[in-house]
Structure 1
Amino acid sequence: MDPRRAPEASASPQALAEENARLRRICSALIERVESGGVPHGGPYGAFEHSVLLAEQVRERTETLQRTLAALERSRAEAEAANLSKTRFLAAVSHDLLQPLNAARLFASALEGHRLPDESHRLVGSINRALKDVEALIGSLVDISRLDAGVLRPDVTSFPAEELLGVLAEEYRQVAASRGLELRHVPSGAVITSDLALLARVVRNFLSNAIRYTRHGRILLGCRRRGDGLEIVVGDTGPGIAPAQQRVIFDEFHRLGAGGADDDRGLGLGLAIVERIAGMLGHPLGLASRPGQGSLFSLRVPYGTAPATPQAVGHETPGPLAGARVWVIDNDADIRDGMVALLGGWGCRVTSAATPQRLEGMPPEVLLVDYHLGEGQPDGLAVAGRLRRRYPGLPVVVITANHDAALKARIREAGYACLHKPLKPLRLRVLLGTLLEAQRPRRETR
């Protein structure tokens, strides 16, 4: 037996207890010494404790970050779903809501062309003006919603400035005359590059405001050639705008008092829409005005190159439409009846149907076709393509409430003209006159 282990083997329980107590004191002293040196980075135990604390903080913050990212992902998904729902709603508004308004405008315009007693003619005029106001209000709400949703995309092409300005001058000349104002238009031979429909929206707003706020005098629609583009200007002899108001008039729902009951119909969205469209197109806006000396709004549009083929819309005085054979394809019966009444009042021979299979008779000289022809039916482009193969060179006008840039590009590439709902009768008449004038040699040989 090892003599060094003999005492331990023969130790009494009391001795063992004392030894155990001594060892505990030693351990306690060692732990106390280590802990007393446990300042950050001051010893192994302190370092270990600090590392454990940091690990716990990292774990907690990682969990918080993961929860935040999950919440953001849910919010993003909800926002995308809401945006998609909004886009679908806008599509429904653009088509379904504008359909009855389009039909009502067609009927009212057809009635205005009839010989009616003075009182009846006055009432019809009031109906037409009220429908135009509804169209403007709905159009403003839909436009601002499209811009907010980011679903409005420009369809930029080159076209003669007069293709737009000449038509607008003819359209608003009558409106100005009804207010006792003179509208002067200075034609331009420049070619510009822009989205024709969106640019028209801007210039229409300038003209509408100029007529609304001008009590007497004249309105000017013209252009100035600048080094970096064509400056389209609309001037008036109205009350002018104070310097403090010249910035805020572009804010949403901000309207200047016009001093007339007929002017309290807008939402104050027109110039807000103008500013957003101009920004999207990259066309700088301008405003020069002094109180009591009128206002001049301007928009600078880049120059373009002459298109390979002339565009369909002209600005000449509407030519005679008597005897022109026009086919109308639309799945809405009210729209068809309204088109028959309007075109018939212009002297056209109109054949209308919901589908091309129901059309018969002499070949058409112009085709007016709605783009949306109902669930399960081919769209207007497909229908127009089949009819043009049957009647080569047939002029086609596609009518739609859809302002999608891709659709407008498809219509243009197919060689068709495009009009948006609600139809503006004067624009339709000018377009038909231009298309028929281009077809005159063919018509005379038949």
Structure 2
Amino acid sequence: MNKDGRPASPGQHDALEELERRNQKLAKINAALMQRVERSMDYQANAYSMFQTAIGLETQVRVRTEELKSALNRLERANDQLTIARDSAERANRFKTGFFTAVGHDLLQPLHAARLSLSALAEMRDDPQQGRLIGQVDHALSTIEELLRTILDLSRLESGALKPSFQAVEVLDLFRSVLVDIEPIARDKGLALTMRSRDVAVTSDPLMLRRILQNLLANAVQYTEQGHVLIATRRRGAMLRIDVWDTGPGIAPQERTKIFDEFHRGAAAQRSHAGGFGVGLSIIARMSEALGHRLELCSKVGRGTRFSIHVPFAGDAPSVRALRDGVHKAATQADPLSGIKAVVIDNDAGVRDAMRALLERWGCEVHPFGGLAELDATLVSEPSFRPDIILADYHLDAGESGLASVSRLRDTAGRAIQAVVITADHSPEVTDAVAAAGCEILRKPVKPAELRALVMHLVG
């Protein structure tokens, strides 16, 4: 309808509808534009928020980076300090090992001479009482020798240079040997000292196993005031368990992990005012670890203690004993060495004299020299001199090696004269050098029976 109330004409009606459609279309466009504007404003807000977040994260990253750089610098400084400390410790360890090796050689020299002299004296004895005294002195020298070797072996254990020499060891002989040292002390304290074992053998290093048992028994006797000390064996499958029992005060639980530390002396030691430096159990632990023998401790306070070491079982002992008796029989025969020409090369006059006395008692013709210079002088004056065997010390004066004298004698003779190098140096370098020269090696102090058996084997 028009403004005056009259009905609209068809043309006007169409125009109104067209305007209505345009109006609706504009409304939709407007709504779409408003949505776009709103989304754009949201995007801007989000972008601004993300921008602020990025700035915050960048600040945090910068702070963390600075902290990380600081930590890395501290770590680098700590690593430098650790490297310096490690190098210092390695130098100290090398010095200590070298010191003990050098000192051990000097300490074992007089023992070596004493053992040789005592053996020569033993062969001249007529009085049984003199024989018993000689036996006691010989055993005392052996004990001192083993204690010195323990110190040297600990040094080599720490440096990784000591490698156990595994062989069949007769248990009963080992027990008797250890008890001889401990029995007088136990008797003075009124303790019963007993052993219990079948005639069997184990596989171990005989010297290291003996030191372990010797230390265990010494500790047991030292801290036991009354009762008894027992060393015994029990078969456990493929292993033989060697037990050392005592009726001492026992070890408190809180001390059982500490007693294997160096220089630790527990409450029992303080109560008994026992001497020593507290290294016995430390030696036991280290040697057991080197041998691969498991060590056990069982103790009850006020009742006593049992230390056990598990050693591989090697069977019955008769075969081992037969081999040992055969070597002993060969070493005690006198005739095979009669008239043998032996050259002794050693820079120590006492060792030369002792070796000469021993070899002459065996019927050898001995020619001692202090080194290559003396030997050359003899070869010049006696160009036809030809020994049957050479016994040479490895370390001579002025850095000279006994191998040089061996080489000179062999060159002069035009043949490989049998030679034995005698040394207290256990280093792999010396062992390799002796083997490369085609010589046998014996460690000081040499046991006369072992030396005799080897000489007979080489010249026989």
Q: Provide the TM-score with structure 2 as the length reference.
A: 0.58
Evaluate the alpha carbon distance shift between residue 252 and residue 70 of structure 1 in structure 2; reply closer, same or farther with a 3 A threshold. same
Q: Which residue of 2 aligns with 1:429?
A: 448
Aligned residues of 1:213 and 1:258 also touching (Cα < 8 A): no
Letter in 1 for 2:280: G
Q: Which residue of 1 aligns with 2:239?
A: 229
Q: RCO greater where, 1 or 2, for CA within 8 Å and sep 6 or more?
A: 1
Q: Give aligned-pair identity as a percent.
A: 23
Shift of 1:271: 0.9
Aligned residues of 1:252 and 1:272 also touching (Cα < 8 A): yes
Name which of 383, 400, 411 aligns with 2:424.
Answer: 400
Letter in 2 for 1:240: G
Counterpart CA distance in 2 for 1:235 and 1:101 is 32
Counterpart CA distance in 2 for 1:340 and 1:183 is 42
Shift of 1:91: 3.0
Farther off after superposition, 70-79 or 243-252 = 243-252
Counterpart CA distance in 2 for 1:184 and 1:65 is 62
Q: Which residue of 2 aligns with 1:99?
A: 105
Aligned residues of 2:164 and 2:290 also touching (Cα < 8 A): no
- After superposition, give the CA deviation of every residue in 1:184-207 in whole Å (9 maximum; x if it has no partner): 696755462x55554454244335
Q: Which residue of 2 aligns with 1:9?
A: none
Which residues of 2 match residues 15-26 of structure 1 at below 5 A? none
Shift of 1:269: 0.4
Evaluate the alpha carbon distance shift between residue 53 and residue 327 of structure 1 in structure 2; reply closer, same or farther with a 3 A threshold. farther
Aligned residues of 2:115 and 2:141 also touching (Cα < 8 A): no
Q: Which residue of 2 aligns with 1:285?
A: 295
Letter in 2 for 1:102: L
Q: Which residue of 1 aligns with 2:82?
A: 76
Q: Which residue of 2 aligns with 1:56?
A: 62
Which residues of 2 match residues 121-140 of structure 1 at below 5 A? 136=147, 139-140=150-151
Name which of 299, 320, 326 aligns with 2:309.
Answer: 299
Which residues of 2 match residues 177-196 of structure 1 at below 5 A? 179=185, 190=201, 192=203, 194=204
Higher helix fraction (1 or 2): 2
- Work out whether 1:340 is the aligned partner of 2:346: no
Letter in 2 for 1:155: K
Q: Which residue of 1 aligns with 2:282?
A: 272
- After superposition, give the CA deviation of every residue in 1:55-101 in whole Å (9 maximum; x if it has no partner): 42243123213312321331232133223312321232223212332
Number of residue pairs the alignment of both structures matches: 374
Name which of 124, 141, 155 aligns with 2:163.
Answer: 155
Q: Which residue of 2 aligns with 1:363?
A: 387
Three-state SS of the structure 2 residue aligned to 1:367 is strand
Evaluate the alpha carbon distance shift between residue 376 and residue 403 of structure 1 in structure 2; reply closer, same or farther with a 3 A threshold. closer
Evaluate the alpha carbon distance shift between residue 322 and residue 250 of structure 1 in structure 2; reply closer, same or farther with a 3 A threshold. farther
Aligned-residue RMSD, C-alpha? 5.5
- After superposition, give the CA deviation of every residue in 1:310-367 in whole Å (9 maximum; x if it has no partner): 9xx9587695487856654445x2xx52463377368355554454675576735573
Shift of 1:253: 1.8
Aligned residues of 1:106 and 1:342 also touching (Cα < 8 A): no
Shift of 1:229: 2.4
Shift of 1:103: 3.0
Evaluate the alpha carbon distance shift between residue 279 and residue 375 of structure 1 in structure 2; reply closer, same or farther with a 3 A threshold. same
Q: Provide the TM-score with structure 1 as the length reference.
A: 0.60
Evaluate the alpha carbon distance shift between residue 368 and residue 235 of structure 1 in structure 2; reply closer, same or farther with a 3 A threshold. farther
Counterpart CA distance in 2 for 1:183 and 1:304 is 23
Name which of 260, 263, 273 aligns with 1:250.
Answer: 260
- After superposition, give the CA deviation of every residue in 1:18-53 in whole Å (9 maximum; x if it has no partner): xxxxxxxxxxxxxxxxxxx99999341x23432441
Aligned residues of 1:214 and 1:239 also touching (Cα < 8 A): yes
Shift of 1:284: 0.6
Counterpart CA distance in 2 for 1:207 and 1:54 is 67
Counterpart CA distance in 2 for 1:216 and 1:387 is 63
Structure 1: segments with no counterpart, 5+ residues: 1-36
Three-state SS of the structure 2 residue aligned to 1:161 is strand
Aligned residues of 2:343 and 2:368 also touching (Cα < 8 A): yes
Counterpart CA distance in 1 for 2:352 and 2:46 is 91
Name which of 187, 199, 202 aligns with 2:212.
Answer: 202
Letter in 2 for 1:151: S
